[in-house]
């Protein structure tokens, strides 16, 4: 992931679902989501979605908790 999520993006996404969030919480959500997406990005980048769609499902099963 090249850019971090912004608190404004989090607030807008939650608002679209009818949820109101405080600015301080939105900042924490944005930081957490950015960290999760950055950690997951390398694994997803290795998946060949176009070549073998089943690879996505296999990777999900392999990394399931």
Residue 47's pLDDT is what?
75
At residue 13, the pLDDT reads 92
- Pick the residue with more confidence: 57 or 13? 13
**Domain boundaries, given as residue ranges, for the chain:** 7-62
Residue tagged 């301080």 (tokens): 24
Query: Regarding predicted confidence, which is higher, 55 or 4?
Result: 4
Q: What integer pLDDT is reported at residue 17 of this predicted model?
A: 94
SS3 64: coil
- At 49 the pLDDT is 65
pTM of the model: 0.63
| 25-62: pLDDT as tens digits | 999 999 999 999 999 888 888 877 666 667 777 778 88
């Amino acid at each position: 992931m090249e850019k971090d999520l912004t608190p404004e993006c989090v607030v807008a996404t939650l608002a679209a679902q009818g949820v109101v969030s405080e600015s301080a919480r939105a900042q924490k959500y944005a930081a957490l989501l950015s960290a999760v997406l950055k950690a997951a990005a390398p694994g997803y980048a290795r998946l060949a979605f176009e070549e073998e769609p089943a690879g996505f499902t296999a990777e999900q099963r392999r990394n399931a908790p």
